[in-house]
Amino acid sequence: MLDHLYLKRLSRPIEELGVRPPSVDIREWSELDKGCLSYIHDYIDVGVIHHVESSTTAYGCWTKLQGLYERNTAGHKVGLVRQLGKLRYVNGEFLKEHINQIEHIFY
């Protein structure tokens, strides 16, 4: 998503953590922020929009989406290590299937 914002030159509100740089006019920043927010809303699934509809800034919306989709918690990491520890290659199994199982754990 951030790549799309870069291409459209709408990523600055996210990069600046929602804080307007002094060199940018208030009106220009507001237009940029609203454009970024609208672009993010265009890509959000209807089932998820209720989580971010109260956000009035692009950065606020972005951080809520990060909270929903990022899985960097300690519990998640422990679960990944357990899955990887339980994974064993079975003799006669296709190596490609085994590699796919490993990739599924990480992706």
Q: What is the pTM of this model?
A: 0.63
Give the tokens for residue 17: 């953590």
pLDDT band per the 50, 70, 90 thresholds, residue 45: confident
Rounded distance between C-alpha atoms, residue 20 and residue 100, angstroms: 45
Is 16 in contact with 38 (CB distance < 8 Å)?
Answer: no
List pLDDT tens digits, range 52-90: 989 999 999 999 998 887 776 777 778 888 888 888 888
- For the segment 37-54, the average pLDDT, to the nearest whole number, is 90
- What's the token pair of residue 87? 């994974």
